[in-house]
Structure 1
Amino acid sequence: MKHDPQPATASEWRAEGDACAARGELEAALQCFEAARVLDPVDAVVLERLAATLAALNHFSEAVVRYHEATMFDPRNADLHHGLGWSLEQMHRLEQAVDAYREAVRLNPKADGSYNNMGNCLQALGRFDESHEAYRRAIEAAPQVPLYYRNFVQSKRLTADDPVFVALEQLAGVAASLTLVDQAEMHFAYGQALSDVGRNDASFDHFLKANALHRTGVRYDEAASLSLFAHLPEVLTSEELAAKRGLGDPSAAPIFIVGMPRSGSTLIEQILASHPHVFGAGERTEFGEALVNCIGHHVDDPLRIDIEALQGVGATQLRALGADYLRRMRMSLPEIPSGAPGYTHFTDKYPFNFINVGLIHLALPNARFIHSSRSPLQSCLSIFSRIFHDVPFSYDLGELGRYYRAYDALMAHWQRALPEGTMIQIKYEELVEDLEGNVRRLLAHCGLDWDARCLSFHQTTRQVNTASAAQVRRPLYKTSVQRWQPRQVLLQPLFDGLGPELAPADSVGAQQRAPLADADAAAAGTEQKS
């Protein structure tokens, strides 16, 4: 049997690596590019391929090293600086990422992707004027890319005479020529822009179109999600939590902020991170990774907990789970508490840890939980107006309402089952109404001394990598709890999903438009969890 000869030169290894990469065999491609680099360590093309493959495999620190090497041999290659910036961005080294993107656009003033990514980094750093300018430059370079408009309108309120609004209107006029993915992006962007200029009915029409288009490409097993939410309280009962209490890692450093997206969790983290003893770690997935490592997930879906595996979890696994989570956090974020003077706590605000509250409590019995909530209608409307990468239930009003109702029931179970003082609920509307009173509640709950800097949270300098980056840089205003509400007949699928206990009291059969403030006022008098 005849075998193909093994590559003998750097160019042959590079060609073999390209072929592997084209087939999606990234590990094999990586080996080929490494072999090519050994034979020709000054070939910038080989180094670029190697760096890009490392980045695709999430080996970002190694990718940065190779991109730096490549730029030494080909310093005027804008793509190399873009790749370097992207790898640095994934490592949250945003200042350095901005520098790399700036070099990319200096070398290639039409590098629209570099302008866009630079805007994202500047947005997270709170440098909004610079981020807006970067987004504008991206749009000027590539006015046919809807993503750039969406990023811009989610960071800045538009006026009807803004050139970006005019360009977006023109793009909407040729929407049929776009791919379905780009059509969805365009409708999300245009819906927000129309809302900014007060054309609310048209705005919601575009949000409906955007979500319907995006839903066609989203994998979501509603039955599996709702079944999980129903079964968790049956497995992690109050009695089970009490029987296994104290078996996990004793660290009191973590503060978990949980709840639905767009519920005020970024604001709560910004307040806590303004305290000198709290490090705001942002949205982290390390607990889920530790859970897979120590206990396991459903064999068919890595996003689902393996209920059967929870049945026999004991002290050894729980302590290992807590320790593994802390180890992973400290590996990726060396700033977090390790016993040295300075930070004593860190926040983890991955919202969907609300599913894991019971397990987190068993693995880290001294951790504190903050349930960030908002009126159900306000929360759902805010979610419906955005694209999220990990929120597959949000693109259909009925699915969104049913998910919210199941989440609310699960949070009610955790609140009943956890020991007193383990979790508090902070409602966004109440936080806006009485900032100092609720900040004092937060700090006391976390065992932190009062610090007035937490009231000036908008002045705190730190990276904020979520959709709420702009909001937490501004003081709170009571008008921020109000949002235009579409005709209620359009929202009936959402109301049906929420059910009578969570939907606004006047929603059934109502056809007229009502101010959201009325719905919020009704919700504020209840113990609804959002």
Structure 2
Amino acid sequence: MVHARRLLREDPRLAALQAREIVRAAPADAEAWRLLGRALRAAGEQQDAEAAELEAIAVSVHDPRLFEAASALLDGRLAVAERLLRPHLKEKPTDVAAIRMMAELAARLGRLGDAEALLRRALELAPAFAPARSNLATVLYRQNRPAEAVEMLDLLLGADPANPAHQNLKAAALGRIGSYEEALGIYEQVLAGHPAQPKVWMSYGHVLKTVGRRDDSIAAYRRALSIAPTLGEVWWSLANLKTVRLGEEDVAAMEAALEADDLDEEDRFHLDFALGKALEDLGRDASAFAHYAEGNRLRRARIEYDPDEVSGHVDRCEALFTADFLEARGAEGCPAPDPIFVLGMPRAGSTLIEQILASHSEVEGTMELPDLPALAKRLGGTRQRPERGGYPDCLARLSAEELRGLGEEYLARTRVQRKTDRPFFIDKMPNNWAHVGLIRLILPNARIIDARRHPLACCFSNFKQHFARGQGFAYDQRELGRYYRDYVRLLAHFDAVMPGHVHRVLHERLIDDPEAEIRRLLAFLDLPFDGRCLRFHETERAVRTASSEQVRRPINREGVDQWRRFEPVLEPLKEALGPVLAAWPAVPGEWQMKHNQPRRSFRP
């Protein structure tokens, strides 16, 4: 074997001959098959090399240590799997099966960057190893890189066009980049051949909802429930249409589902949120709140969230983004005026603002884009808990060229979402309130709109909402109130140090006097008035958020004061909101007094 490795550098063809002799004598020797694959690839015999590489993988999985590691992964014993895989890979660093297992371990631990690097190494060693390519597509999708995931999936589907798992993932990735019609076509093709897949029916229903086919969406969800009546996520998807009222038969079916012996916790909390909505619509408020509370309790127990991290981030932003700092760096960054950021709390009316603006002839609506938080996360490095020197403090060390590069990168990353030639586009990620300073530095001509709603109305609406991902603050009343308070505190800071740069839209005022508020909004954006903005509900476009059905109707006051029915059980929320609630719609006086400095405008 040592001689064959030496020959690999000197004469790949002769090395391949020797490796063939070894595998004939020892067909269960994975290392010999790996050597044969390398020799054949070096000799230019790609097809035979692929066959040898795949055989090496097939043989290596019978290694007792890898077999034990695979069992540990299957059982969720991740620490055991890691203890087995690390020494194995130290001895056999080119064992592709072991590399893929380590990538799966990294992905399960949330280390998606590590998983991606491992899978790319596996494919470098064995380009034809389809399972690794499939895993890589999934990892890219989970990192909010759907366009790259689609590229990987196209390669897989070229070799196996009818693979339903790859088709489903491609459809989901296409939905992420706004290619909804193509996604619908794939789902329809999959369901024609495999109709008994409730989760595919659910995913199909999600896309139908997004494109405004409400009745078809409901039918898809109902079809999923006919196959799997205890699938809680589908019940929640129906309830989350907001304009659909679930009746007594549905309540009975969900209550029966909760009694199932084999119901897992994820189905359980989805059912609790759905039952809360159904019972609230039926006027059974006490029972509704009990289910909301239980759903939130179960969901909170499954997630990691530290409110101190959010408060600490706000503290660091207040320290860094002073008026002098912003004035000194006001002309740096990318000068493109394209983005309009609509941010604030979830469930505060941002989708309504987006729909209004997307009805304007010069503005394109997209979706909640993950790109700005991804840039912020990268700037912060790998620290689990932010510290001084990380994000946002690191922004002070960036040059004008680096800031401009970040702005240009953001525009490049979001270009896949732009389907028209309109000059402006909307990024409606609510959580971008935490990155107002970053926006100001890298995109100084971008416009920022703060969508704000009454603290109790907004926070209770969040408490009733199960979010597919993120929003860890939303599952506890006290944490909700503290998060809202931190959000208001940071925006009050930016109001003081860069006055006029953030335009605030109060949801209640928009509901009460839409034309006046829309005119003010368009004036802030330097856009001419467009009457279609008043008829926003007639605009046909895809809307992905929970409010998708609500913004397809004219403005109404339904839901504005719904929280008042539940006010007696919201005392923990009220206490956590503290002075923010008392000062509404203004901000606490002490926050205004804190910035005792000349007011200057920094619009470039």
How many residue pairs match? The answer is 490
Q: What residue in structure 2 maps to residue 202 of structure 1?
A: 287
Distance in 1 of aligned mates of 2:449 and 2:435: 13
Report the Cα offset of residue 489 of structure 1. Answer: 4.3
Q: Indicate whether 1:316 and 2:370 are aligned.
A: no
Q: Indicate whether 1:249 and 2:311 are aligned.
A: no
Distance in 2 of aligned mates of 1:14 and 1:266: 49
Q: What residue in structure 2 maps to residue 477 of structure 1?
A: 556
Q: Match of 1:425, SS?
A: strand
Larger RCO of the pair (alpha carbons < 8 Å, separation 6+):
1
The 3 A distance-change label for structure 1 pair 426 and 308 is: closer
Does the CA contact (< 8 Å) of 2:351 and 2:428 recur in 1?
Answer: yes
**Aligned match for 1:65, one of 154, 161, 179:** 154
The 3 A distance-change label for structure 1 pair 408 and 32 is: closer
Q: What residue in structure 2 maps to residue 398 of structure 1?
A: 478
Q: What residue in structure 1 maps to residue 348 of structure 2?
A: 263
Q: Which has the higher helix share?
A: 2
Report the Cα offset of residue 6 of structure 1. Answer: 3.1
Tell me the amino acid that sits aligned with residue 55 of structure 1.
T
Q: What residue in structure 2 maps to residue 123 of structure 1?
A: 209
Q: Choose 397-406 or 48-57, whichever is displaced more.
A: 48-57
Report the Cα offset of residue 127 of structure 1. Answer: 0.9
**Aligned match for 1:6, one of 33, 37, 43:** 33
**Aligned match for 1:359, one of 429, 438, 444:** 438
Cα offsets for 1:289-340 (capped at 9, x unmatched): 33455x444733589962431333442332222222222222x33536xxxx
The 3 A distance-change label for structure 1 pair 91 and 63 is: farther
Distance in 2 of aligned mates of 1:302 and 1:147: 33
Q: What residue in structure 2 maps to residue 454 of structure 1?
A: 533
Report the Cα offset of residue 210 of structure 1. Answer: 0.7
Report the Cα offset of residue 48 of structure 1. Answer: 7.1
Does the CA contact (< 8 Å) of 2:343 and 2:451 recur in 1?
Answer: yes
**Aligned match for 1:494, one of 557, 567, 573:** 573
Q: Match of 2:504, SS?
A: strand
Report the Cα offset of residue 96 of structure 1. Answer: 1.2
Distance in 2 of aligned mates of 1:314 and 1:19: 42
**Aligned match for 2:265, one of 177, 180, 186:** 180
Ranges in structure 2 where 5+ consecutive residues have no aligned partner: 3-28, 35-50, 62-95, 105-114, 142-147, 590-604
Q: What residue in structure 1 maps to residue 364 of structure 2?
A: 279
Q: Match of 1:429, SS?
A: helix
Q: Match of 2:346, SS?
A: coil
Report the Cα offset of residue 112 of structure 1. Answer: 0.7
Q: Match of 2:558, SS?
A: helix
Report the Cα offset of residue 32 of structure 1. Answer: 5.3
Distance in 2 of aligned mates of 1:394 and 1:12: 49
The 3 A distance-change label for structure 1 pair 419 and 80 is: closer
Root mean square deviation of aligned Cα: 2.8
Q: What residue in structure 1 maps to residue 138 of structure 2?
A: 55
Does the CA contact (< 8 Å) of 2:333 and 2:400 recur in 1?
Answer: yes
Does the CA contact (< 8 Å) of 2:340 and 2:425 recur in 1?
Answer: yes
Q: What residue in structure 1 maps to residue 239 of structure 2?
A: 153
Q: What residue in structure 2 maps to residue 371 of structure 1?
A: 450
Does the CA contact (< 8 Å) of 1:124 and 1:464 recur in 2?
Answer: yes
Distance in 1 of aligned mates of 2:392 and 2:169: 41
* 1:167-246 equivalences in 2 (<5 Å): 167-174=253-260, 177-246=262-331
Report the Cα offset of residue 484 of structure 1. Answer: 4.3
Report the Cα offset of residue 92 of structure 1. Answer: 2.8
Q: What residue in structure 2 maps to residue 299 of structure 1?
A: 383
Distance in 2 of aligned mates of 1:149 and 1:121: 16
Distance in 2 of aligned mates of 1:172 and 1:180: 10
The 3 A distance-change label for structure 1 pair 412 and 204 is: same
The 3 A distance-change label for structure 1 pair 48 and 368 is: same
Tell me the amino acid that sits aligned with residue 415 of structure 1.
D
The 3 A distance-change label for structure 1 pair 13 and 185 is: farther
Distance in 2 of aligned mates of 1:277 and 1:401: 37
Does the CA contact (< 8 Å) of 2:364 and 2:418 recur in 1?
Answer: no
Does the CA contact (< 8 Å) of 1:14 and 1:33 recur in 2?
Answer: no
Q: Match of 2:297, SS?
A: helix
Does the CA contact (< 8 Å) of 2:258 and 2:271 recur in 1?
Answer: yes
Q: What residue in structure 2 maps to residue 43 of structure 1?
A: none
Q: Match of 1:6, SS?
A: helix
Q: TM-score, normalised by structure 2?
A: 0.75
* 1:18-29 equivalences in 2 (<5 Å): 20-25=99-104, 27=116, 28=118
Does the CA contact (< 8 Å) of 2:236 and 2:271 recur in 1?
Answer: yes
Report the Cα offset of residue 452 of structure 1. Answer: 0.8
